[in-house]
Amino acid sequence: MKERILALIEQGKYADIRKELIEMNVVDIAQLFEEIDRQKLLVIFRILPKDIASDVFAYIPNELQKYIVESISDKEIKSIIDELFLDDTIAFLEEMPSNIVKKVLKNTDEETRKLINQFLNYPENSAGSIMTIEFVDLKKEMTVKEALQHIKETGVDKETIDNCYVIDNNRILEGVISIRKLILSEDSALIKDLMQKDAVYINTHDDQEKMASLFKKYDLLSMPVVDNERRLVGIVTIDDVIDVIEQANTEDIQKMAAMQPSEEKYLKTNALVLAKHRIIWLLILMISATFTGKIIRKFDDVLQTVVVLASFIPMIMDTGGNSGSQSSALVIRGLALGEIRLKDAFRVLWKEIQVGCLVGLALSTVNFLRIYFLEKTDFMVSLTVSITLLLTVILAKIVGGILPILAKKCKLDPAIMAGPLITTVVDAVALTIYFSTAVWLLGI
Amino acid sequence: MKERILALIEQGKYADIRKELIEMNVVDIAQLFEEIDRQKLLVIFRILPKDIASDVFAYIPNELQKYIVESISDKEIKSIIDELFLDDTIAFLEEMPSNIVKKVLKNTDEETRKLINQFLNYPENSAGSIMTIEFVDLKKEMTVKEALQHIKETGVDKETIDNCYVIDNNRILEGVISIRKLILSEDSALIKDLMQKDAVYINTHDDQEKMASLFKKYDLLSMPVVDNERRLVGIVTIDDVIDVIEQANTEDIQKMAAMQPSEEKYLKTNALVLAKHRIIWLLILMISATFTGKIIRKFDDVLQTVVVLASFIPMIMDTGGNSGSQSSALVIRGLALGEIRLKDAFRVLWKEIQVGCLVGLALSTVNFLRIYFLEKTDFMVSLTVSITLLLTVILAKIVGGILPILAKKCKLDPAIMAGPLITTVVDAVALTIYFSTAVWLLGI
């Protein structure tokens, strides 16, 4: 398909291209746009029917949107913005430089301009900033027949009509009714008898992650957004919520790998920005790791006497770090999904102590057998290493399990208590245990 | 609300309870069920209207489902299963022991039993195993009016009617039409002129993660599932896809923290199972880390001469590990979201080299200033540590960026190339660089 269209473009057969394109999914057209050279792209964009053109516009990358808006006439801009859903317009404008925003605003009518400005002012990551205003509102006195007629008259421009929202004369949210229920009910039934009264809703200023967890909890397809007076001002649809969920997961993974979270795509971010997101945590952790170095220096007489002790440092540090990372990753994820709550702290602690003892015993036994029998290490050194390993693993599990919960209790993001930070904490304690045990067992 | 109902239960006012409950969201009722003691729970479950009872049943935890099925009569079981959507029945049966499955199957009619057995046979994590058969199918010769009439007659039992699927006489999928389009069109229009012909579909045996990425790409609310002859056999709805997405993310995070992925919830998993999921990777990584130990042992004369070198080992290892984890986490996530593809390997390599140089230079400069001027470390030792740090960071970034892509090229899961494994690889190389530089600069 793609090859055929690219060939048609080569040959300049625009009438044929148009016929092919209007049969295609807009997402696929948008993907195709990324592979066409820009001059031809503009021609093709212009031959698309208005409604398809604006749908495609919503799906292409920001730099192509910018290029198109810079290249087309004011009249064409107006026609795109008129067709775009408001949430797509906002998502697009948020990524544009101010000259483009001005150019677009200049070409919209008074009312839309006011709305856009209002939406651009909602806090980043708030429900208000991703809601759309294209929804169906009904009155509870309507019959099913009147409601369906109302939808038919006003529904063309609506982003979703799967759920309709019932409001009173002051626009205060009173309930929700699915289109399914409408269709399956008698024409003469009243909305107020059919609607669900306890509609799950959210405030414009609430956080998007809170909104996403409500969507997940109640298996919703859309959710009404209200202002402080509970007046219905917009709706959020599930497709945008999936983006919020994936973004939250990406940010958690970034934080867990000791980076500042970023919404930009990896390949589209330049090296300087990538470096900036990574350097701060690396610096903090590097400086923290010098404390571990200080512990070694404190014991350098021990090391001087039994230099072979140094060779087990990497294994002890890595195993401790890995053990801690496992626990913290599970607990951080459990907290994020709401499966673990603050009040579960003691259950987590107890579970990690048990797991730590099991895993620690297994690892230190294997380790002892290996270094004493296979590598013929000195008995007391083997014992020192194995005891350290056991204690380190148990301790790492406890620290890894508890620190994320503590962080949450202190209103910090649990995700920063992941592998890297846990590793640094565990390293210092592990080496203290190691050298103290060595002093005790080897009698240095 | 919850307190009031719990009080009513205390007082045994079951008529009032029923009145309260039928106004509530089924998800909230399910949550309430977890807090009621089991004898009372059974009474309350029985006073709920049949349709609400089965909806609630779909949302309660497996052990409560098991308890209820064990406690109620065969007739009651049949009535629940009759009301449940097939995908919820399957999800429930998959978690039950065989005696419960038998008890349930015994109480379903021939046809349902055949369907259940067929669904239970779809591979785990396949689209077939989470699809449902409650969907609306239309014929392309129908008019809009006939279609709406058909929906009205058959739609009550359907899980979603947001999208209707058009099939021919052999049940082969021909297109899709949204309920929205139906409602907004003229009564006399023909389905074949309104339907979208290139419906995005998936095969029963395709993987759920592939399905999830199609949902995300095309912003779908539901997707038809076909067999090998392209016959429509079921649909998958977005609410189940969100669970697939979150599950995939959890598994990635578990793998990235060096654990075997598990679908069980942390607090519900006993310590022995948790330990089992963690021990294998810890063992592999522990044994790998001994190679790093061997490198130290090879250089123990260097260490014996300049024992202070040992004290920088933790800092070098940790910084190298963290640098590599950052890169691998970003690349693994990019691969999972489809933002990075195999053919981008060289772009990733080049980006990581640049970031590595920037970050490496910054870190090693700070480190040199700190240990030479502040800690008064010997100049040559400071230089050795700083050069090692620079090279280690660059190398860690390259390894962290490339190994996940290589893994994917070899059809392995990129997520296993995360922090822990990268750290082990980087450790060994870092220490080799460290001691070689020391030999060279310190002339030992």
Separation between Cα atoms, residue A268 and residue A373, nearest integer Å: 53
Among the listed residues B12, B11, B32, B7, the one whose alpha carbon sits nearest the alpha carbon of residue B21: B32
CA closest to B292 among chain A residues = A314
Answer for the pair A77, A69: CB distance below 8 angstroms, yes or no.
yes
Q: Is the pLDDT assigned to residue B393 strictly greater than 80? A: yes
Is B250 contained in some domain?
A: no
For residues A282 and A426, membership in a common domain is answered with yes
Q: How far is A293 from chain B (nearest CA, A)?
A: 4
For residues A115 and A144, membership in a common domain is answered with no
Answer for the pair A329, B261: CB distance below 8 angstroms, yes or no.
no
Pick the last residue of a domain from B57, B92, B121: B121
Is B129 contained in some domain?
A: no
For residues B273 and B183, membership in a common domain is answered with no
Helix (H, G, I), strand (E, B) or coil at B177: strand
The single-letter DSSP state of residue B97 is: -
For residues B198 and B101, membership in a common domain is answered with no
Tell me which chain A residues have a C-beta less than 8 angstroms from the C-beta of B330.
254, 257, 259, 266, 274
Answer for the pair B331, B418: CB distance below 8 angstroms, yes or no.
no
The predicted model gives A142-150 an average pLDDT of 89
Q: Is the pLDDT assigned to residue B316 strictly greater than 70? A: yes
Tell me which chain B residues have a C-beta less than 8 angstroms from the C-beta of A242.
215-216, 238, 242, 245
Answer for the pair A177, A196: CB distance below 8 angstroms, yes or no.
yes
For residue A62 the two structure tokens come to: 């920001």
Is A132 contained in some domain?
A: no
Is A374 in the B-facing interface, judged by CB distances under 8 Å? no
Higher pLDDT: A96 or A393? It is: A393
Which H or E run includes A211? Answer: helix A208-218
Answer for the pair B290, B424: CB distance below 8 angstroms, yes or no.
no
Answer for the pair B261, B249: CB distance below 8 angstroms, yes or no.
no
Whether residues B314 and A296 touch (CB distance < 8 A) is answered with yes
Whether residues A275 and B359 touch (CB distance < 8 A) is answered with yes
Higher pLDDT: A1 or A321? It is: A321
Name which of A30-39, A209-218, A382-391 the model is least confident about: A30-39
CATH of the domain at B29: 1.25.60.10
Tell me which chain A residues have a C-beta less than 8 angstroms from the C-beta of B363.
279, 282-283, 286
Is B164 contained in some domain?
A: yes
Is A246 contained in some domain?
A: no
Sign of CA dihedral B408, B412, B415, B416: negative
Quickly list DSSP for A277-316.
HHHHHHHHHHHHHHHHHHHHHHTHHHHHH-GGGGGGHHHH
Give A374: exposed, middle or buried? Use CB within 10 Å, 0-12, 13-18, 19+. exposed
Separation between Cα atoms, residue A17 and residue A9, nearest integer Å: 7
Nearest to B282 among A23, A323, A354 (CB): A323
Whether residues A325 and B419 touch (CB distance < 8 A) is answered with yes
User: What's the longest Cα–Cα distance across chain A?
Assistant: 94
**Who contacts A232 (Cβ-Cβ below 8 Å, separation ≥6)?**
A135, A137, A165, A167, A171, A172, A173, A224, A225, A226
Among the listed residues A202, A128, A200, the one whose alpha carbon sits nearest the alpha carbon of residue A163: A200
User: What's the longest Cα–Cα distance across chain B?
Assistant: 94
Confidence of residue B157 (pLDDT cuts 50, 70, 90): low
Could you read off the pLDDT of B199-210 as tens digits, one per residue?
899 998 999 888
For residues B322 and B406, membership in a common domain is answered with yes
Residue B155 pLDDT: 67
C-alpha triplet A164, A165, A167: angle, nearest 5°: 145
User: What percent of chain B stands above pLDDT 70?
Assistant: 98
Separation between Cα atoms, residue B122 and residue B239, nearest integer Å: 20
For residues B202 and B338, membership in a common domain is answered with no
Among the listed residues B125, B39, B129, the one whose alpha carbon sits nearest the alpha carbon of residue B92: B129
Is B284 in the A-facing interface, judged by CB distances under 8 Å? no
ipTM confidence: 0.77
Chain A and chain B share a number of CB contacts under 8 A equal to 339
Mean pLDDT of chain B: 85
Higher pLDDT: B363 or B265? It is: B363
Q: Is the pLDDT assigned to residue B390 strictly greater than 90? A: yes
Distance from the Cα of residue B412 to its chain's centroid: 17
Mean pLDDT of chain A: 85
Q: Is the pLDDT assigned to residue A398 strictly greater than 90? A: yes
The predicted model gives A41-46 an average pLDDT of 85
Using only the alpha carbons of chain A, give its radius of gyration: 30
Nearest to B419 among A180, A278, A419 (CB): A419
Residue A278 pLDDT: 80
CA closest to B164 among chain A residues = A180
Dihedrals phi, psi of A158, to nearest 5 degrees: -80, 140
Q: How many helices (H) and strands (E) does chain B have?
A: 22, 6
Separation between Cα atoms, residue A35 and residue A54, nearest integer Å: 19
Is A244 contained in some domain?
A: no
Q: Is the pLDDT assigned to residue B337 strictly greater than 80? A: yes
Answer for the pair B224, B196: CB distance below 8 angstroms, yes or no.
no
The predicted model gives B317-323 an average pLDDT of 87
Residue A203 pLDDT: 92
For residues B323 and B367, membership in a common domain is answered with yes
Whether residues A180 and B198 touch (CB distance < 8 A) is answered with no
Could you give the strand order of the β-sheet that contains A222-226, starting from the edge strand earlier in sequence?
Answer: A202-203, A222-226, A232-237
Q: How far is B348 from chain A (nearest CA, A)?
A: 7
Among the listed residues B82, B71, B83, the one whose alpha carbon sits nearest the alpha carbon of residue B42: B71
Residue A394 pLDDT: 94
Restricting to B residues 215-274, those with a Cβ less than 8 Å away from any Cβ of A are 215-219, 221, 238-239, 242, 245-246, 249-250, 252-254, 256-259, 265-267, 271-272, 274
Separation between Cα atoms, residue A160 and residue B180, nearest integer Å: 8
Residue A143 pLDDT: 92
For residues B433 and B317, membership in a common domain is answered with yes
Best residue of A333, A388, A434 to probe chain B, by most B CBs closer than 10 Å: A333
Q: Is the pLDDT assigned to residue A390 strictly greater than 90? A: yes
Nearest to A311 among B200, B293, B348 (CB): B293
Answer for the pair B103, B77: CB distance below 8 angstroms, yes or no.
yes
Whether residues B322 and A285 touch (CB distance < 8 A) is answered with yes
The predicted model gives B429-440 an average pLDDT of 88
Confidence of residue B159 (pLDDT cuts 50, 70, 90): low
Answer for the pair B329, A254: CB distance below 8 angstroms, yes or no.
yes
Q: How far is B258 from chain A (nearest CA, A)?
A: 7
Residue the block writes with tokens 């079951």: B14
For residues A362 and A437, membership in a common domain is answered with yes
Helix (H, G, I), strand (E, B) or coil at A217: helix
Is B227 contained in some domain?
A: yes
Answer for the pair B24, B1: CB distance below 8 angstroms, yes or no.
yes
Whether residues B334 and A266 touch (CB distance < 8 A) is answered with yes
Higher pLDDT: B279 or B369? It is: B369
Is B368 contained in some domain?
A: yes
CATH of the domain at B204: 3.10.580.10
Separation between Cα atoms, residue A324 and residue A403, nearest integer Å: 10
Q: How far is B106 from chain A (nearest CA, A)?
A: 31
Residue B99 pLDDT: 83
Quickly list DSSP for A382-442.
HHHHHHHHHHHHHHHHHHHHHHHHHHHHTTS-GGGGSHHHHHHHHHHHHHHHHHHHHHHHH
CATH of the domain at A427: 1.10.357.20
Number of domains in chain B: 3
The single-letter DSSP state of residue A157 is: G
Q: Is the pLDDT assigned to residue A401 strictly greater than 70? A: yes
For residues A112 and A193, membership in a common domain is answered with no
For residues A230 and A345, membership in a common domain is answered with no
Could you read off the pLDDT of B59-104 as tens digits, one per residue?
888 888 888 888 888 888 888 888 888 888 888 888 888 888 888 8
| Other C-beta atoms lying within 10 Å of the C-beta of residue B263 | 11
Task: Print the domain residue range for A221.
Answer: 137-237
Q: Is the pLDDT assigned to residue B398 strictly greater than 90? A: yes
The predicted model gives B258-284 an average pLDDT of 79
The predicted model gives A21-28 an average pLDDT of 85
For residues A328 and A391, membership in a common domain is answered with yes
Strand residues in B147-266 grouped as ranges (E): 163-167, 173-178, 202-203, 222-226, 232-237
